[in-house]
Structure 1
Amino acid sequence: MADGNSAPTEVAPPGVNINVPHSARIYDYWLGGKDNFAIDRQVGEAMIKAIPGMRYMAGENRKFVHRVARDLVVNEGITQFLDIGTGIPTRPNLHEIAQGHKPSAKVVYVDNDPIVLVHARALMISNPAGRSEYIAADIREPRSILDDPALRDTLDLKQPVGLTLIAILMLLSDADDPWSLVAELRDALPSGSCLAITHPTADFNPDEVNAAVAAATGAGMTLVARTKEAVSRFFGDWELLEPGLSPVSAWRPDAPVADPQAAYYWAGVARKP
């Protein structure tokens, strides 16, 4: 127990090292959540110092998820989703948006942080007409995701799937060859499936983004900002939906955006022919 002059002792679930920052918990901190530790807040603040608009950017990323879930259900007729790099649940979650338009929609969430697992199973409660499941897995092993019994029992891979990779590919270095990993996921999905991606970039403000990357890598994290060309490669030969690969705030916004480049992310959705 901490005394009156020391900080409270932080307790984590088994398997969580509270001395190592994790992207999901840093993101939770930016969004105003409480499921993070001192090291996550320390790195999160260092990145805010580099990019003062970081909290705004995190919020714009979440808004994109909401718009994509709605548009894929309403406009593309997709009723099943595979969300890799889920992060700590923040309402409304993807399945809540999708099931708000189609109660029978099904979602499989994937993340590799034990804290996400704890909260996902407690908070990601599906509409009774649909289903939501959670898989503890890593995007570096796409086959283990695709072959997981929970995925096979929830999603019908013969029917279109909405694959969402939101702010996750930035955690893979070029040496990981993330393009091949995403291609393996794309190849497993049938015609009519859609792929949604957001990815940080230095294209809009190199100085701020490079400083944020330095703060993250200095703390032992992998964080890669990529150009528009590099991000576009993740979609392969799939057809980009309008408005194409665009700043995250400018992808089918619900209201006019004063400065689309104020959030330093590329975002896009593509459909498999």
Structure 2
Amino acid sequence: MTDLSKLPPVDPAVPNAARMYDYFLGGSHNFAADRAAVERTIAVMPFAAQVIHANRYFLGRAVRFCAREGIDQFLDLGSGIPTVGNVHEAARAVDPAARVAYVDNELVTVASAAALLDGDPLATITAADLREPDAVFEAPGVRELLDLSRPVALLTVSVLQFVHDDDEAAAIVEQYRGRLVPGSMHVLSHVTGDHDRTELTAAEDVYRSTANPGRLRSREQVAALLAGLELEEPGIVDVTEWRPDDTAGRQHRGMWAAVGRIR
């Protein structure tokens, strides 16, 4: 069982990105402040909910792709609150023995995931900050579940925008990828203002009043976070355009997405 005492206490009056994401997806693990922040986001970015759903669809597609490529281990950083389309559900649709180590640093998220995963020997939740790779890898829920001598899919899906400094973000992903063997994958999505700058910038302003202010990055800046990887087709594309097999549509939704292989 993960140690919830490592996490800061919940302040229901301060919106949190993980709980806002949960509300966007129709979940119930959120507070009035989170819901109000979501409504403020939608007011300035009317297609915000579509962005969130498109990102969730991408996550499922990318996880299933990795599983079909033979990867049966997943490390999900900034996993968010459990809702429909969890990583372990998507992975096990391909490989019933897939293992998933979730990591998050928000108390409601971790507590909710712990309840959901209770009794599941192939999935864990770890209370940790993704900015501390050594602590993540040393945590029992990661160390005892994942075999790092075999390929792992590293998931940083809509989370690196909360690491504002470019050099720090690049160093973090390099530290994680450096612990993974060749054949591992890195799945990434990231908010951008490249398509709808006015709306995304306004949404960025809303997030500044939350516990998790985010930062937009351009395609070039996202590409820098994937440096050294062999990108799977179709490369870095809008989140709706990465091997679509759903009905999310092809309109730009405000996120870049890619999957890269570690060689």
Shorter-normalised TM range: over 0.9
Match of 1:199 in 2: 190
Q: What TM-score, normalized to structure 1?
A: 0.89
Q: Greater RCO between the two (CA within 8 Å, min separation 6)?
A: 2
Q: Deviations over 1:34-70 (max 9, x none)?
A: 1111211121111111110111111111111110111
| Pick aligned residue for 1:243 from 234, 237, 246 | 234
Q: Secondary structure at the match of 2:180?
A: coil
Match of 1:6 in 2: none
Structure 2 counterpart of 1:27, one-letter code? Y
Deviation at 1:33, TM superposition (A): 1.2
Match of 2:163 in 1: 172
| Pick aligned residue for 1:150 from 141, 145, 150 | 141
Once residues 88 and 82 of structure 1 are traced to their aligned partners in structure 2, the CA distance between those partners, rounded to angstroms, is 15
- Checking the alignment, whether the CA contact within 8 Å between 1:24 and 1:87 is kept in structure 2 is yes
Deviation at 1:19, TM superposition (A): 1.7
Tell me, yes or no, if structure 1 residue 189 matches structure 2 residue 189. Answer: no
Deviation at 1:260, TM superposition (A): 3.4
Match of 2:105 in 1: 112
- Checking the alignment, whether the CA contact within 8 Å between 1:246 and 1:268 is kept in structure 2 is yes
Tell me, yes or no, if structure 1 residue 77 matches structure 2 residue 67. Answer: no
Once residues 249 and 187 of structure 2 are traced to their aligned partners in structure 1, the CA distance between those partners, rounded to angstroms, is 23
Q: Secondary structure at the match of 1:211?
A: helix
> Structure 1 pair 14/112, CA: closer, same or farther in 2 (3 Å)?
closer
Alignment of 1:58-137 (within 5 A): 58-74=52-68, 76-124=69-117, 131-137=122-128
Tell me, yes or no, if structure 1 residue 34 matches structure 2 residue 28. Answer: yes
Aligned length: 257
List, as ranges, runs of 4+ consecutive aligned residues in structure 1 with deviation greater than 2 Å: 124-127, 218-221, 255-260
Deviation at 1:132, TM superposition (A): 0.3
Match of 1:163 in 2: 154
Structure 2 counterpart of 1:195, one-letter code? H
Tell me, yes or no, if structure 1 residue 43 matches structure 2 residue 37. Answer: yes
Structure 2 counterpart of 1:33, one-letter code? G
Calculate percent identity across the aligned residue pairs.
37
Structure 1 regions of 5+ residues with no counterpart? Answer: 1-12
Once residues 264 and 243 of structure 1 are traced to their aligned partners in structure 2, the CA distance between those partners, rounded to angstroms, is 17
Structure 2 counterpart of 1:31, one-letter code? L
Once residues 198 and 180 of structure 1 are traced to their aligned partners in structure 2, the CA distance between those partners, rounded to angstroms, is 17
Q: Deviations over 1:91-135 (max 9, x none)?
A: 2211011112111110000000110111101113676xx600110
Q: Deviations over 1:205-226 (max 9, x none)?
A: 1100111111111446421010
Once residues 268 and 135 of structure 1 are traced to their aligned partners in structure 2, the CA distance between those partners, rounded to angstroms, is 25
- Checking the alignment, whether the CA contact within 8 Å between 2:17 and 2:210 is kept in structure 1 is no
Q: Secondary structure at the match of 1:36?
A: coil
- Checking the alignment, whether the CA contact within 8 Å between 2:75 and 2:153 is kept in structure 1 is yes
Deviation at 1:140, TM superposition (A): 1.2
Match of 1:18 in 2: 12
| Pick aligned residue for 2:215 from 224, 228, 234 | 224
Tell me, yes or no, if structure 1 residue 265 matches structure 2 residue 258. Answer: no
- Checking the alignment, whether the CA contact within 8 Å between 2:8 and 2:106 is kept in structure 1 is no
Aligned CA RMSD, in angstroms, stands at 1.8
Q: Secondary structure at the match of 1:268?
A: strand
Once residues 74 and 212 of structure 2 are traced to their aligned partners in structure 1, the CA distance between those partners, rounded to angstroms, is 28
- Checking the alignment, whether the CA contact within 8 Å between 1:172 and 1:222 is kept in structure 2 is no
- Checking the alignment, whether the CA contact within 8 Å between 1:95 and 1:126 is kept in structure 2 is no
> Structure 1 pair 251/23, CA: closer, same or farther in 2 (3 Å)?
same
Structure 2 regions of 5+ residues with no counterpart? Answer: 1-6
Once residues 243 and 107 of structure 2 are traced to their aligned partners in structure 1, the CA distance between those partners, rounded to angstroms, is 34
Once residues 228 and 111 of structure 1 are traced to their aligned partners in structure 2, the CA distance between those partners, rounded to angstroms, is 26
